[in-house]
Chains A and B, each alone.
Chain A
Amino acid sequence: MEFWANLLAGAFIVGGLFFMLVGSVGIVRLPDFYTRAHAAGKVDTLGIMLFIAGLIVYEGWTLVSAKLALISVFIALTSPVATHHMLRRALAYGLKPWTRP
């Protein structure tokens, strides 16, 4: 039972690591501020939530797990909100969206 829980935790953590890598590469590679915000706001949030889910599975039913779940909910709420706020500011102060040349 211990082995399978550890395997599941490892799968979650590696999946989260993969999504965080995709988010980082997207921030560097995409052509425009708005598309970059797309990479940072959604893919990174999914990666971090998967990562914390893996840590919860590794930890078991304790108070630390509850706090980890709380961090996960907080990240899921605030990371898209912060990205959206940056986007609205950029649009309000006149940053032109990228179009295919």
Chain B
Amino acid sequence: MESFFFGVALALAVILLIPFYRVYRGPAVGDRLLGAAAAGTKTLTLVLLIGVLYDRLDMFVDISMGYAILNFAGVIAMSKYFRTQTTARR
């Protein structure tokens, strides 16, 4: 079960990198924000998985909960802050 979780963590780390393409390229501001939010919610599951691997899930679950709240508040704050939706770079 240990090696299974390690493989899942590796696959999750690769999946986590895919939305950063949208953060780098995305034409609108919202696209970049969307990619960052998707990467953030996937990071939460990666934190949980690290907790399982270290056998300290009781500690990492609290970190993950805080990360979920921080991610939500950050996305809401940034999407209220950006007023333009211009296409920055094609």
Contact = CB atoms under 8 A, between A and B. Distances in A.
Interface string B25-45: 000101101110110011011
Contacts of A74: 65, 68-69
A83 B61 contact: no
A25 interface: yes
Contacts of A81: 72
Contacts of B42: 20, 24, 44, 48
B12 to A, nearest CB: 7
Interface of A: 6, 10, 13-14, 16-17, 20-21, 23-25, 27-28, 33, 36-37, 40, 44-45, 48, 51-52, 55, 58-59, 63-64, 67-68, 70-71, 74-75, 78-79, 81-83, 85-87, 89-90, 93-95
A50 to B, nearest CB: 10
Given A17-B12, A71-B61, A85 B34 contact: no
The interface residues of chain B, by DSSP majority, are classed as helix
A95 B34 contact: no
A27 B58 contact: no
Contacts of B83: 93
Given A17-B11, A28-B18, A95-B85, A70 B65 contact: yes
Contacts of A17: 8, 11-12, 15
A101 to B, nearest CB: 16
Contacts of B54: none
Contact of B45 (A36, A48, A63, A89): A48
A83 B37 contact: yes
B79 A89 contact: yes
A74 B58 CA distance: 18
